[in-house]
Amino acid sequence: MRLAIIGAVLLAAGAVAIATGALPFTDLVALVDRVAPILLFVVAMTVVTELCSEAGVFLWTARRLRYWGRGYSILLWLLLAAFATLSTVFLSLDTTAVLLTPVVVSVTRQAGLPACPSR
């Protein structure tokens, strides 16, 4: 909910910038032209990620990798690296990063390892 509020505030600030002339319309068109493909990718990946999560793809993949890792963190890391490499062969690097992050977090939680590196 907090992100929706921040988004609404930013959208309102943009509308004010356009209405007051602080952002010329030609610059707005150029900005939308540059940013629209990125936003479309983010929205599409959000939808795909949510569908995969609801279908249990991340959990199933994490369980398989953890099973094949047999409790060895090095082997688990190698399996994750191989999975990321294989995924990148068929998908873009950005897509792999977005789709692999939930798998890695799930694997580390299931294996009892910290999801975030220690300081």
Q: 94: helix, coil or strand?
A: helix
Domain with 62 in it:
56-119
Question: What is the pLDDT at residue 13?
Answer: 93
* 77 in any annotated domain: yes
- Whether 113 is in a domain gets the answer yes
Whole-prediction pTM: 0.63
pLDDT of residue 104: 84
Chain Cα centroid distance, residue 83: 16
Q: How many CA atoms lie within 13 A of 27 on its CB side?
A: 7
Residue 14 domain-assigned? no
Tokens 């569908």 map to which residue?
A: 51
Asked if residue 88 belongs to a domain, the reply is yes
Question: Would you state the pLDDT for residue 119?
Answer: 62
pLDDT tens per residue across all 119 residues of the chain: 788 899 899 999 989 999 998 989 899 899 899 999 998 988 888 888 889 889 988 889 888 988 998 878 889 889 989 988 988 898 888 888 888 888 888 888 887 877 677 66
Number of structural domains the chain divides into: 1
